[in-house]
Structures are given as C-alpha cells and as structure tokens.
Amino acid sequence: MRYARRVFVCAILLSLVSVVASEEKSLAPEPLTLVVMDPLAKPLSCPCVAGYAQRDYEKLAEALQKTLQREVVVVFNDSLVAAQKKKQVIRIDLVIGKQSVILQDAKASKLNLKKVAMLSGKDGLTTQRGLVVVATADPAKQMSDLKDYRIYFGPQECDEKHAAAMRLLTAAGIAIPQKLDTAVACDEGAIKILEMAEKGERGCAVISSYAKPLLEGCGQVKKGALRIVGETEDVPFVAAYLNAGLDSKLQSAISDALLKSTADVNLRIALETKRGFVADAETENEVAKKK
C-alpha cells in the first residue's frame, strides 16, 4: 500500500515538473533568425585559399545567443527572397551580406530593414572595388584602350561590377552598350574573356576585388591569366541590417551585441576581420518599405 502511495506521489511530482518545464519553454523568447548572404561565408564559398572566404558565422550566432540569452538560428542563402521561403524562417531579424545585394533583395521581398553596422575585412576596410580585367596577353594597357571591346558586367544588384563599373568606363570615354552583356558570377565573366582571347577576340570583364584570389585559388582561372586595367571607386561591402519592425529595445540589444561581439579576438579570427563590426554612420537607414 505504501509502495503504491510512493509511486502515486512520484507520478504527481513528475507531472508537475513536466508542466513547469513546459510553461518555462512557452515563456522563453522566440528564436532570432540571422540570414547570412556574405559571399565569403564558409557555406557560400569554397576552401580553395587557405584562411580566406571561410567566415564562420555559426560562432557569431553562439556569441549573440550568449549575450542576448535567446536562440539564434542561422540561415545561409544568396537571396533574401529564397531565405524567406525556408521552413525554419518565421521572421528575418538580422541580415548580413553584400550591401548592394541586400538593398535590392529587401525591395523584392518587401522587407523594411535598418542598417546598423559594417564588417571590416582582413585589411580593416569595409569596402571593395570592381576590377576591370583582360587576358594577360591582351594589348589593352589602360581603360581608354577598351573602346571596341566586348564588356561583361556583373548583375545590377552588384554595385562594384555594374553601376560603379559604368561610371569608371564613362569617365574613361568608353560608351556603355544599350544592351549589356552580363555574367552572374565573376568566374563566368573571366572564363568568357579568356575563351575570346584564344579566338583572337577582344573582351574584358568586371570582377569583384574579393573574388580575384578565389578565381586562381580554385583553379577556375590559371594563375597570371588575368591582368587588371582599371579599378572602380570603393563601394560598401559587407553590411548588417536589422528588421526595422522589431521592438526598439530588441533592435538596440541586437545592435549592441553585434558591435561588441567582435571585441573577442577569436571571433574576429573566425570571421576573418581585422576590426570586426563597426557602427554605421549613415543617417538614412531604411532601405525598403512594405507596400
């Protein structure tokens, strides 16, 4: 009889513990979703060049999670629109990636985002450039020599390979074709002009400055096969944006946690950054408003 009572009491206690645990779980804040679009992130790049383009954003998520005391889910994708369709994505809270791509995708996905920081590179800079390249044996020596060349631009959302490249060419007196030849990826444009060179045809391509080491490192382009004849002005590279619809206190908490996270030297090494995240000085932060 006493044994039966003990079993009954234990069952009740276990039930109470289960209820309390369930209530605590229900009271826990919902996870934050970090969408990473950085082309130098480990899952979005390749390990061809030692110590380069292998940024470990899982470690950043761990740091943010510890500071904010809530789960941080990381989603890697080249597109915000595609990221929104992922089953685990209920709401996008923080986005880190190439600024010009985020700006374009935010409009397409009708997200209202607020820029809060830039991520510095190994050189300490928060910018990149577009590089105008030709085959090494090509006779062109400077931008003005490209008047009759077929030019491969990058897609519109990549400022360094599109808008900035157009400004550079225009300044050099090169007419912009009405119909642009575009290459989605840097290796695509580079390979095309090298194939043209083999046929005796004249062509140049605009590639991202961060991508040049990867072209040769991955064997897509032979070392020394390309030569730079021009560089665009600096354009912003990797930026961090918050969902502007979040509670203002949560926005401040995430922003502060992000900026303070890279005070940790080990995290800076993992993210391949010299100065870490630096505060954004722009006054106009909203980039896309819901219609």
Residue 145 has a pLDDT of: 98
Question: What would the pLDDT profile of 245-271 be if each residue is shown by its tens digit?
Answer: 999 999 999 999 999 999 999 999 999
Residue 219 pLDDT grade (very low, low, confident, very high; cuts 50, 70, 90): confident
Asked whether the predicted pLDDT for residue 232 surpasses 60, the reply is yes
Whole-model pTM: value is 0.87
Residue 203 has a pLDDT of: 98
Specify burial of residue 141 (Cβ count, 10 A radius: 0-12, 13-18, 19+).
exposed
* Arithmetic mean of pLDDT, 208-233: 94
Per the model's pLDDT, the better-predicted residue between 6 and 108 turns out to be 108
What's the token pair of residue 266? Answer: 């080990």
Residue 16 has a pLDDT of: 52
Residue 21 pLDDT grade (very low, low, confident, very high; cuts 50, 70, 90): very low
List b or e across 174-206, with b for residues whose CB sees 16 or more CB atoms inside 10 angstroms: beeeeeeebbebbbebbbbbbebbeeeebbbbb
Residue 289 pLDDT grade (very low, low, confident, very high; cuts 50, 70, 90): very low
Beta-carbon contacts of 100 under 8 Å, excluding residues fewer than 6 positions away, are 157, 158, 159, 160, 235, 236
Question: What would the pLDDT profile of 89-144 be if each residue is shown by its tens digit?
Answer: 889 999 999 999 999 999 999 999 999 999 999 999 999 999 999 999 999 999 99
CB of 174 closer than 8 Å to CB of 147? yes
